[in-house]
Amino acid sequence: MIWKSIKRRLADKAIKKQLPDKQPVFKPVAWSAVKNIGLIFQADDPIMIHGVEELVEIWQKQGKQVQVLVYISDPKKIPFENRAHWQPCSNKDFTSAGVPKTEIIHQFIQQPFDLLVDLNMTGQIRLYTVSVLSKATFKIGADLSINKHLPFTVDISKSAESYTVFKLGQNLVEQLNKIQFV
C-alpha cells in the first residue's frame, strides 16, 4: 500500500514536468459526433481481451475508428495475438515510476482522439499516466480514486453487479448518450 502511494507521487511528479503550463479544456462530445476513439485497459486474462474485442467491434459497426492500448503485466501468462489498431504494452514500456518511455506509448499519447475511453478498473499507475498525458479532446472512465483527472466517470463501486471491461465500456457510452449537448 505504501509502495503504491510512493509510485503514485513519483508518477505525478514526472507527469507535471511533461504537462504544458496551460491545461487543456476538455470539450464534451456527443457519442454521435465521435469519430476516433482511443481505448486503454489492462488485460488480466483472455476474457478481458475478448470483452474489449466485442466492444471495439460494436463501435466500428457504428462507424468509429478505434485504437486500443492494452497493458499486459505478464506477457508470458496472457497470450496476445496482434490485431489491427491494437498496441500491446508491458512494464518494459514504462519507467519504474510508471512514466512512458517508449515511442509506441508516446505515439498513442500524442493522438488527438475525439474520445479516450479509460477502462482502467484496477488503478494501474501505467495506464493512469497514459490517460493523464493523452491529447484526447475528452476522456471518460471508471470512477476510481486514481482517476480524478477524468472529467466524466461512472461509479462502479456502488453497482450490485460486477463490472467487466465490456459492461463498463457499454455503460460509459450509455451515460454519454444521456447528456444533452447544446
Is it the case that residue 111 has pLDDT exceeding 90?
yes
Determine which of 14-18, 78-82, 89-93, 126-130 has the lowest per-residue pLDDT on average: 14-18
Residues in the chain: 182
Residue 146: CB atoms within 10 Å: 21
Reference 39, options 71, 61, 13; nearest CA is 71
Higher pLDDT, 88 or 76: 88
Q: What is the pLDDT of residue 155?
A: 56
Residue 77: CB atoms within 10 Å: 10
| Percent of the chain that is helix, strand, coil (3-state, to 5) | 40, 15, 45
Q: Give residue 153's pLDDT band: very low, low, confident or very high (50, 70, 90).
A: low
Q: What is the pLDDT of residue 169?
A: 78
Q: Which domains does the chain have, with CATH numbers?
A: 2-17+34-178 (3.40.50.2000)
Higher pLDDT, 33 or 164: 33
Q: Give residue 108's pLDDT band: very low, low, confident or very high (50, 70, 90).
A: very high
The DSSP 8-state label assigned to residue 32 in this structure reads G
Is it the case that residue 181 has pLDDT exceeding 80?
no
Dist. CA 48–CA 88, nearest whole Å: 14
Average pLDDT over the chain reads: 78
Residue 28: CB atoms within 10 Å: 14
Q: What is the DSSP string of 111-143?
A: ---SEEEE---S--HHHHHHHHH---S-EEEE-
Q: Give residue 139's pLDDT band: very low, low, confident or very high (50, 70, 90).
A: confident
